[in-house]
Amino acid sequence: MRTPRLFPVAVALLLVAMCSGLANAQADELMKEQSDTGWQFMVTPYLWMVNLKGEAQIGWREYNGNVVPITVPIDIGFSDIWDNLQFAGSLHFEAKYNDWGGIFDVTYIQTKQVQRDVVYPNEGPGTMDVKLGLTVVDLLGTYRVQQTDVGSIDVLLGARYTDWNPELTAAYGDTTEALDAGGSWTDPIVGVRLHTDLTNKWYGSFRIEIGGFGMGSDFTWGLHLISGYRLTKMIDLNLGYRTIGIDWHSEGSGVDAKTLDLTESGFLLGVGFRF
């Protein structure tokens, strides 16, 4: 499975074209209440019901005179993660001052070790013990470029840090081998966010970003769709869907080469606190 690079780019271009017709977009509820001289903040702990799909390559090995890549298919549903969870947490923090702002978003997942049945090239059936660790951190600056009575547009610029740290132990025959599949990297990120007030209580937000460009990963992209309800002036309820795509390869070569083609996607539930 390869990440469809042209899809997020096409959506980004379409979104920009749609947004260009909105002269002077309206600020959201937080910005409506903001004074000209004060900061506004929003902190939102949330549950991301993430599913992981893709493939990881863990170097190369020689089997019966042939050099073949060791690849591990990734197809982990949220129920699998939940059943084997050791710790998980997601937090979104946003600060705003007039048209300028910033976003800090972190997701951390750590599962306990589980065993899978695997067939190894030229070795036959065996098992693989898997312990998953994943951290994704976004740090973005925002600037509101347009606002009208229908919505608002922010441009985004910043970075995404990813730490992919699975612990894998392969066992076949009388052989047990620890496989290093992990890595960490930082990607530059650019994006745009569209916000619209549907009623005085309900609002919607759509955000897309792309990044990497060979400076961290080869390419990364993200889509965020949020529906929000203002329960009070200080508390929001959020329901949404988030997808992040990653196409990464390590700097090593030969037996040390590692690649990751991963899509993280799922619904999210959050409670936002404004102050």
Collect all residues with Cβ–Cβ distance below 8 Å to 56 and sequence separation of at least 6. Answer: 71, 72, 74, 166, 181, 258, 259, 260, 261, 262
Burial class of 237 by CB neighbour count within 10 A (0 to 12, 13 to 18, 19+): middle
Q: What is the pLDDT of residue 132?
A: 87
181 or 234: which carries more pLDDT confidence? 234
Q: What is the pLDDT of residue 188?
A: 98
- Between the alpha carbon of residue 190 and those of residues 68, 220, 247, 258, the distances in Å are 37, 11, 17, 26
Write the pLDDT tens digit of every residue in 164-217. 998 888 888 888 888 777 899 999 999 999 999 999 999 999 999 999 999 999
Closest by Cα among 210, 207, 241, 220 to 101: 207
CATH class of 6-274: mainly beta
Q: How many C-beta atoms surround the C-beta of residue 81 within 10 A?
A: 20
Collect all residues with Cβ–Cβ distance below 8 Å to 197 and sequence separation of at least 6. Answer: 26, 28, 29, 151, 203
| pLDDT above 90 as % of the chain | 54
Cα dihedral 109, 114, 119, 123, rounded to 10, equals 110
pLDDT band at 250 (very low <50, low <70, confident <90, very high): confident
Instruction: Say whether pLDDT at 126 is over 90.
Output: no
Q: What is the pLDDT of residue 9?
A: 46
The structure tokens 């049945």 sit at: 117
Flag the least confident range among 8-22, 43-57, 143-157.
8-22
Domain boundaries, the chain: 6-274
How high is the mean pLDDT of the chain?
84
Q: What is the pLDDT of residue 121?
A: 67
120 or 90: which carries more pLDDT confidence? 90
Flag the least confident range among 147-156, 193-202, 249-258.
249-258
The token pair at 100 is 């300028």
The structure tokens 């002036």 sit at: 233
Write the pLDDT tens digit of every residue in 15-31. 444 443 332 333 344 44
